[in-house]
Amino acid sequence: MSKYIYSLHDFHAVRKAVIKIDGITVISGENGCGKSTLSKWLYYIVNGAGNLDLYIYNSLIYNISDMIRRLNMVRREMERFNRNDNFKIFHDGETRLHRLLGDDSQENIDSAITVFEAILDKFISILADYLKHRPSEVVKERLLRYLNIDIQDNEYIDEKLEEFAYQQMEQIRELVNNYIKNKNERNKTIFFSRIQSEYAIKDKAPINIQLEEEGVKLFKKNNTGTLFNLHKAIYVDTPMAISEEIAYDNKFWENLQDLMMYPKENHEPSAASLKIERRISKLIKGQVKISKDDFNQDELHYIREDGLDIKLDDVATGLKSFSYIQRLLENGYLNDTTLLLIDEPEAHLHPQWIVEFARLLVLLNKELGVKIMIASHNPDMVAAIQSIARKENTLDTTRFYIAEKAETPYTYSYRDLAHEIEDIFKSFNIAYERIEQYGTTGI
């Protein structure tokens, strides 16, 4: 099982964090100490490293689409005056390009270029016909200035448009060459630019961030390496993430819901995976399955063992916590190349289910090799993970960290507690001490 060291320094509330991940990692600390920041950026860089080539390719397709939209704007303006209708070829071209997203094959790159060439040819034909009908000089100059075409004499229209077409294709060739260059170089600046775009990150990227796999750094000088044994990160910040009505524009939730809905290609469940699935079904007294809504669209339903069938959105929040694990298992996304990140997994859980969830996490790591990092405020969860890991003989790959106030105000450093939790419990005890103070001190 591969070992990882994740480090983040001097970013928001995190003064210094060096976190080892080779089994289950538990981080604890007061609110505002940067636990969610650590989880989010680990999610970004794991998925970014695995999908960088695809993100660079998607950027190429988006750039070609932008060039088509630019031509389409002018086409619409011309047809405002000539009352033609060439909408379909432009619309169909953009639709075809959209379908090419997510598959960076050479065939698809060639298809994107072919789509652009066809639209460009049609656009040149429309523009030539428009200009030869001698439109208003004001309108003509405005359109040509936008396209950066200099036509002083109508006798040279064809030559100028041929030159414009050549320049457009040169721009496409430059985009493709930049795509190849960026894909080969895996530049660190490009890496962070692409993940900020893909995940709609408004914040600046951290300067001091690193992930090591078996001692090899992901970021070296200005290049981004590859993670051989960690292919996907899944981040769950709340069980409400599975509520599809409120997932709009939340990339973490959208990603989780996609994984819950659509199985991994050619997935064959292992005996261990099926055993854990059955354990979850017994706990929640049912299963989560795909059903059809009133519009024949797929949606997730909880089907209880007595036949009750309700939309997953409508079940108790605590049950949602087990349901996403069950679906991720069934669809094949929890294995030894997965990093599962969960903020406060104990939220909304009854104390008995906290222990059951802790056992589930230990089993996912022990039986399937899933790497797990959780942030927890709950003494029952922390104690249960340590105790169950000890009984399952996985304590040597189970680590605990506590966030402590650093010298710089409002910042925290994370201390490695190895396999012990005594200092985490000391921090929990502060709350009980404050309870004792109430009624004996002033406001």
Exposed, middle or buried: residue 271 (CB in 10 Å: 0-12, 13-18, 19+)?
A: exposed
Residue 163 falls inside a structural domain: yes
Q: How confident is the model at residue 430 (pLDDT cuts 50, 70, 90)?
A: low
Residue 230: pLDDT over 90: yes
Could you give the angle at which helices 87-99 and 35-82 cross, rounded to 10 degrees? Answer: 160
Its domain, for residue 140, covers 57-185
What's the whole-number mean pLDDT along residues 171-197?
96
What's the whole-number mean pLDDT along residues 118-123?
94
What is the reported pLDDT for 245? Answer: 61
Residue 339: pLDDT over 90: yes
Residue 302's CB is within 10 A of a number of other CB atoms, namely: 23
Residue 94 falls inside a structural domain: yes
Alpha carbon distances (Å) from 122 to 118, 125, 134, 187: 6, 5, 19, 37
Query: Across the beta sheet with 286-292, what order do the strands follow?
Result: 286-292, 298-304, 309-311
d(Cα 112, Cα 109) in Å, to the nearest integer?
A: 5
pLDDT tens-place string over residues 358-388: 999 999 999 999 999 999 988 999 999 999 9
What is the reported pLDDT for 294? Answer: 78
Highest mean pLDDT: which range of 133-142, 239-248, 306-315: 306-315
Exposed, middle or buried: residue 276 (CB in 10 Å: 0-12, 13-18, 19+)?
A: buried
Rg (CA), the chain: 28
123 in Cβ contact with 75 (< 8 Å):
yes
pLDDT tens-place string over residues 37-67: 999 999 999 999 999 999 999 999 999 999 9
pLDDT tens-place string over residues 409-425: 999 999 999 999 999 98
d(Cα 233, Cα 341) in Å, to the nearest integer?
A: 7
Residue 435: pLDDT over 60: no
Residue 165: pLDDT over 70: yes
**Over the range 3-21, which residues count as b (16 or more CB within 10 Å of their CB) and which as e?**
ebbbbbeebbbbbebbbbb
Q: Which of 10-19, 107-116, 238-247 has the lowest mean pLDDT?
A: 238-247
Residue 265 falls inside a structural domain: no
Beta bridge partners of 236: 342
Residue 426 contacts by C-beta under 8 Å, 6 or more apart in sequence? none
d(Cα 288, Cα 239) in Å, to the nearest integer?
A: 14
Residue 114: pLDDT over 70: yes
Could you give the angle at which helices 87-99 and 106-132 cross, rounded to 10 degrees? Answer: 160
d(Cα 416, Cα 88) in Å, to the nearest integer?
A: 61
Query: Which amino acid does the sequence have at 113?
Result: I
d(Cα 103, Cα 181) in Å, to the nearest integer?
A: 18
Per residue, the 3-state secondary structure of the chain, as one string, reads CCCEEEEEEEECCEEEEEEEECCEEEEECCCCCCHHHHHHHHHHHHHHHHHHHHHHHHHHHHHHHHHHHHHHHHHHHHHHHHCCCCHHHHHHHHHHHHHCCCCCCHHHHHHHHHHHHHHHHHHHHHHHHHHHCCCCHHHHHHHHHHHCCCCCCHHHHHHHHHHHHHHHHHHHHHHHHHHHHHHHHCEHHHHHHHHHHHCCCCCCCCCEEEEEECCEECEECCEECCCCCCCEEEEECCHHHHCHHHCCCCHHHHHHHHHHHCCCCCCCCCHHHHHHHHHHHHHHCEEEEEEECCCCCEEEEEEECCCCEEEHHHCCHHHHHHHHHHHHHHCCCCCCCEEEEEECCCCCCCHHHHHHHHHHHHHHHHHHCCEEEEECCCHHHHHHHHHHHHHCCCHHHEEEEEEEECCCCCCEEEEECCCCCHHHHHHHHHHHHHHHHCCCCCC
What's the whole-number mean pLDDT along residues 264-281?
94
What is the reported pLDDT for 434? Answer: 58
Residue 160 falls inside a structural domain: yes
Q: What proportion of the chain, given as a percentage, has pLDDT over 70? A: 93
What is the reported pLDDT for 412? Answer: 97
Q: Which two tokens stand for residue 131?
A: 């200009």
Alpha carbon distances (Å) from 6 to 46, 133, 210: 11, 65, 6
Phi/psi region, residue 145 (left: phi>0; alpha: psi -120 to 50; beta: rest), is alpha
175 in Cβ contact with 64 (< 8 Å):
yes
Residue 85 falls inside a structural domain: yes
Residue 414 falls inside a structural domain: no
Residue 102 falls inside a structural domain: yes
What is the reported pLDDT for 403? Answer: 96
d(Cα 207, Cα 134) in Å, to the nearest integer?
A: 57
Q: How many domains does the chain have?
A: 1
What's the whole-number mean pLDDT along residues 138-151?
88
Residue 17 falls inside a structural domain: no
pLDDT tens-place string over residues 78-89: 877 666 667 788
Q: Which two tokens stand for residue 162?
A: 């041929």
Q: Which of 52-61, 95-104, 130-139, 210-219 has the lowest mean pLDDT?
A: 130-139
Chain centroid to CA 436: 44
Q: How confident is the model at residue 104 (pLDDT cuts 50, 70, 90)?
A: very high
Of the two residues 432 and 277, the one the predictor is more confident about is: 277
What is the reported pLDDT for 84? Answer: 66
Q: Which two tokens stand for residue 432?
A: 């009980």
